[in-house]
Every structure is written in C-alpha cells, then in structure tokens.
C-alpha cells in the first residue's frame, strides 16, 4: 500500500527497543487506560488501535475486545506488531487510509499517533467513516500544561505550553471533542533507562540540564489528555 502521508515517528520509529522501555514505564498505575476504558469501553466490541506502532498495547486489548485490529504505516514496526499477539490483526495503513470497511469498528484509539492538530482533518474523516454509530475515537496526547513532562515540552515550543495546548484544545473543541485530563507519571526501573528515554524524546540541551537538576529521579510527573469524539 502506498502511504504518501506517512512520516516515521522519530522516537518509536528510530529506536523501537528503547520506546518499548518508555511504554513499560509510563502510567504505572494504569490511570490513562482506566480513563480510556471509562470514556469508551471496549469489552465485547471491535477495537482499532490506529498507529499501533510495535503493537505494545494490543495484548491488553485482546483480553477484553471481541476483535482487536492494529493499523500501522511503518513496515519495520508492523513486523514487530504482528509478532505481539496472534489474536490481534495488524494491517498496513494509516489514519488517512484505514483498510477497513465503513461502519466496522466500535472504538478507535490513537495513542500519540497522527492526531497532532491542526493538520489531521483527513484522518478524522477516515476514522468517522470506519466507526459504527455509537462508536468513539479516543486520542491520547500530552497535556501541555500539567506535570514535569510538560515543563520539558515547553522548552521545545517557542510559544510555550499554554499556547501549544490552547491551539490543540481549540482544534478539538471545534470538532465537539470531550477533554479528559489524567495526571500520571513515568517510573523507570533504573536511572539508565530514564536517561536514555529522556534523551530519545528531547535534545541533549533540554534533557541533560533536567537530569542534572534531578540526580536521584527514576521518573517524572506526566500529564496526559484524552480527546474523545463520538460518532
Ligand atoms: C510515537 S509512536 C506511538 C505508537 C503506539 N501508538 C504506541 O503508543 O506505542 C507514533 C506512531 O504513529 C505512526 N504514524 C506515523 N504516521 C502515521 C499516520 N499517518 N497514520 C497513522 N499512524 C501514523 C508511527 O509510525 C508510529 O508507529
């Protein structure tokens, strides 16, 4: 399948093994998953994990969903995702080109994948095409205004987190999305893992001063936000 819109994710696409460590460390109490489940339950329903990457979250979904489908454009990550759990179907595709029929899915998750406003109208239209009436899209994003991770993000954005978060919020609000904040954390088993993941996500000039200022840290506080669109 030709996917002209696909851009490899610099973090997971660049270092899938290290991103696996990041996924294992995030949200250790499962607060984000709990909020996602409450917002749009998937027990007994068809769940699509859009931009599923290496499929880290698929085995959890198959425990409850009647059918679990992953869609991913990166050929390297698709290969890893297909090894993850034989009960999940992993298809080559993207948000703009979902290889599923109209009205065939109940819940779509997009976790740090594609939905970075403002340029995501085509993917939203495609998600709404595949959702059944009564279905929901749940997008997991960074809360640019809450937690130590947001402080680091602020250094990437010339306009600061308030402005970046406000633009994202407005884009979703204009499309009728519900907004749910979840304050959670990253918690690593070792300092070396925290350092490696922080340097995966941020340039050295941002990661290194933070690490120097927090010499004993094994994690940090992390604000997530869910945007939910109902069909
Ligand atoms: C940061 S990774 C997150 C992967 C996975 N959702 C997770 O949480 O482990 C972003 C993912 O979005 C995928 N991606 C890039 N362009 C995309 C597009 N146009 N549609 C859907 N996914 C896309 C990347 O290949 C990558 O797998």
Measure the CA–CA gap between 150 and 165, rounded to whole angstroms: 10
- Rounded to whole angstroms, the Cα distance separating 93 from 77 reads 12
- Region class of 106: left (phi > 0), else alpha (psi between -120 and 50), else beta: alpha
* Ligand 1 atom at minimum distance from 111 CA: 6
Which H helix or E strand runs over 62? helix 58-62
The pLDDT of residue 161: 55
Q: Which atom of ligand 1 is nearest to the CA of 95?
A: 20
With cut-offs at 50, 70 and 90, classify the pLDDT of residue 157. Answer: low
| Mean pLDDT on 199-207 | 93
Q: What is the mean pLDDT of residues 99-120?
A: 96
Q: Residue 165: pLDDT band by 50, 70, 90 thresholds?
A: confident
Ligand 1 centre distance from Cα of residue 114 (Å): 6
Q: Over the stretch 170-186, which tens digit does the pLDDT of each residue have?
A: 999 999 999 999 999 99
Q: How many CA atoms lie within 13 A of 153 on its CB side?
A: 20
Question: Residue 1: pLDDT above 80?
Answer: no
From the options 3.40.50.150, 2.60.40.680, 3.40.50.1110, 3.40.50.460, give the CATH code of 16-230: 3.40.50.150
Q: Give the closest residue (by CA) to ligand 1 atom 4.
A: 53
16 or 45, greater pLDDT: 45
Find tokens 């698709």 and name the residue.
78
What are the angstrom distances between the C-alpha of 52 and each of 15, 74, 99, 175, 192?
15, 10, 14, 24, 26
pLDDT score recorded for residue 162: 62
**Residue 87 neighbours by CB distance under 10 Å:** 13
Residue extents of the structural domains in the chain: 16-230
> What average pLDDT is seen over the chain?
93
What pLDDT, on the 0 to 100 scale, is given for residue 115? 95
Atom number, ligand 1, closest to the C-alpha of residue 8: 25
What tens digit of pLDDT does each residue of 50-63 get? Answer: 999 999 999 999 99
- The alpha-carbon radius of gyration of the chain (Å, integer) is 17
Q: What's the pLDDT score for residue 160?
A: 60
**Cα separation of 124 and 111, whole Å?**
14
Report the pLDDT value the prediction gives residue 158, as an integer from 0 to 100.
Answer: 61
What was the pLDDT predicted at 14? 74
pLDDT at residue number 173 = 96
Q: pLDDT at residue 166 above 90? A: no
Q: Cα–Cα distance between 222 and 185 in angstroms, integer?
A: 5
In this predicted structure, the answer to whether residue 13 has a pLDDT above a threshold of 70 is no
Please check the confidence at residue 230 and state whether its pLDDT lies above 70.
yes
Q: Which residues line ligand 1 (CB under 6 A)?
A: 5-9, 11-13, 23, 50-53, 56, 72-74, 77, 94-96, 111-114
pLDDT at 154: 87
């Amino acid at each position: 399948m030709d996917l002209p819109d696909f851009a490899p994710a610099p973090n997971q696409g660049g270092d899938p093994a290290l991103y696996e460590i990041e996924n294992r460390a995030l949200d250790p109490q499962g607060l984000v998953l709990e909020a996602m489940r409450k917002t749009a339950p998937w027990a007994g329903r068809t769940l699509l994990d859009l931009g599923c990457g290496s499929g880290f979250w698929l085995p959890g979904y198959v425990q409850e969903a009647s059918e679990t489908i992953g869609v991913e454009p990166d050929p390297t990550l698709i290969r890893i995702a297909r090894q993850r759990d034989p009960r999940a179907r992993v298809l080559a595709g993207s948000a703009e080109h979902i290889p599923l029929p109209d009205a065939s899915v109940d819940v779509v998750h997009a976790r740090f994948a594609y939905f970075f406003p403002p340029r995501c109208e085509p993917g939203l239209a495609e998600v709404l095409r595949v959702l059944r009436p009564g279905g929901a899209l749940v997008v997991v994003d960074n809360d640019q205004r809450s937690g130590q991770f947001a402080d680091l993000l602020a250094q990437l954005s010339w306009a600061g987190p308030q402005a970046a978060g406000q633009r994202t919020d407005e884009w979703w609000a204009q499309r009728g999305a519900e907004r749910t904040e979840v304050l959670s954390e990253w918690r690593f088993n070792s300092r070396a893992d925290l350092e490696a993941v922080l340097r995966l996500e941020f340039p050295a000039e941002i990661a290194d001063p933070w690490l120097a200022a927090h010499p004993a840290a094994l994690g940090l506080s992390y604000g997530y936000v869910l945007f939910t669109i109902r069909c």
